[in-house]
Amino acid sequence: MKLVIVSLSATIVSGSVLHGGLREKAPERLSLPDALCFEKDNVDECDGLLSSNGMGNCVWCEGEEVCLSRANVVDMVEIMGLVCVNEDDILAVGTTRRTMGLPTPPDFNCFHSAWDGENAKVTCGGSRAKDDSPCVWCSLGGDNDDDVAGACLSNEEAIAVNGKFGLTCPSMNYLSPVEDAIRSGIPDVNCLKAAWVAEDAEMACEGSKDASGNDCVWCKTDGDVTGVCLSRPESSMANGQFGLTCPGSELLKQKSFENFMVMQQ
């Protein structure tokens, strides 16, 4: 399965949907990705190379680490504000998108991985975006397993583009392993209740279990007069917040991450 024009188009257009303020261009009017340019992974291979249509040299886009044809770059500058090095100085050079107030470009990690794969959809599912979130395959024309066309996008782009341009993207809200481990157990009522009803809250807390069967943790205030009974993940997050000190929170945070990694293997 190979990507079609909608892949690059959807990636580009999603950026303007995400950030707003730019004219959206219909996918069918965007130039096809130039395969000869796009296969090059560094500036030395890209610069000076004639694009496949013979209409000019390939252009290296610094910072995005992607090689595009001149036609592709014109589209990217118009829609996304992408700044690329051009030896003829036709395009803007040396000004970052942030200082220009322009939106960030599409995540080329996801697009590149699907472009290079034999089966774009499968390759996309096993790839990561620049922020290390999973890439998302957005199908063209429906949610079928045998879709032959689509776009490989970052999670943020997939959320923005879902339902637009004929694309259907699965719902994915990415959390880092530690965030996921922490948020999935909040609030843990077991620990809170154990200390709430006891005469000696700290002692009751230390003898109690959270909803996962792990020991509850007593977090003290700065004055060591009062405190709160939390689950392990909660104590890891609460340490240093609201004047609370929780024992072994760095170790607990590391343990949460290690447990998550074990579950993924």
3-state secondary structure of 67: strand
Comparing 23 with 65, which gets the higher pLDDT? 65
Structure tokens at 224: 């060591």
Comparing 182 with 159, which gets the higher pLDDT? 159
Choice among 23-27, 101-105, 155-159 with the minimum mean pLDDT: 23-27
Q: Average pLDDT for residues 183-192, to the nearest whole number?
A: 62
Q: Which residue, among 31, 68, 23, has the nearest Cα to 49 in the 3D structure?
A: 68
Query: Tens digits of per-residue pLDDT, 199-257?
Result: 788 888 888 888 788 888 888 876 666 788 888 888 887 787 767 888 875 544 444 44
Please tell me the predicted confidence (pLDDT) of residue 222.
65
Comparing 168 with 179, which gets the higher pLDDT? 168
Please tell me the predicted confidence (pLDDT) of residue 85.
53
Comparing 205 with 94, which gets the higher pLDDT? 205
What DSSP string runs through 50-100?
BPTTSSSB-EEETTTTEEE-HHHHHHHHHHH------TT--S--S--TTTT
For residue 104, pLDDT beyond 60: no
CA 155 to chain centre: 5
Q: How sure is the predictor about 11, in pLDDT bands with cuts at 50, 70 and 90? A: very low
Q: Average pLDDT for residues 103-119, to the nearest whole number?
A: 68
What DSSP string runs through 110-165?
HHHHHHHSSSHHHHHHT-B-TTSPBPEEEEESSS-TT---EEEE-HHHHHHHTTST
Query: Tens digits of per-residue pLDDT, 37-47?
Result: 878 888 888 88
Please tell me the predicted confidence (pLDDT) of residue 30.
46
Q: Which residue, among 34, 113, 110, has the nearest Cα to 73 in the 3D structure?
A: 34
Q: How far apart are CA 263 and CA 243, in angstroms?
A: 33
Q: Which residue, among 7, 251, 252, has the nearest Cα to 120 in the 3D structure?
A: 7
DSSP tag of 29? G
Q: How sure is the predictor about 126, in pLDDT bands with cuts at 50, 70 and 90? A: confident
Please tell me the predicted confidence (pLDDT) of residue 160.
74
Most confident of 82-86, 89-93, 111-115, 133-137: 133-137
Query: Tens digits of per-residue pLDDT, 153-174?
Result: 887 777 777 777 777 887 655 4
Q: CB–CB of 39/49 below 8 Å?
A: no
Q: Which residue, chain included where needed, has tokens 């290390």? A: 132
What is the enclosing helix (H) or strand (E) of 260? helix 249-264
Q: How sure is the predictor about 264, in pLDDT bands with cuts at 50, 70 and 90? A: very low
Please tell me the predicted confidence (pLDDT) of residue 181.
45
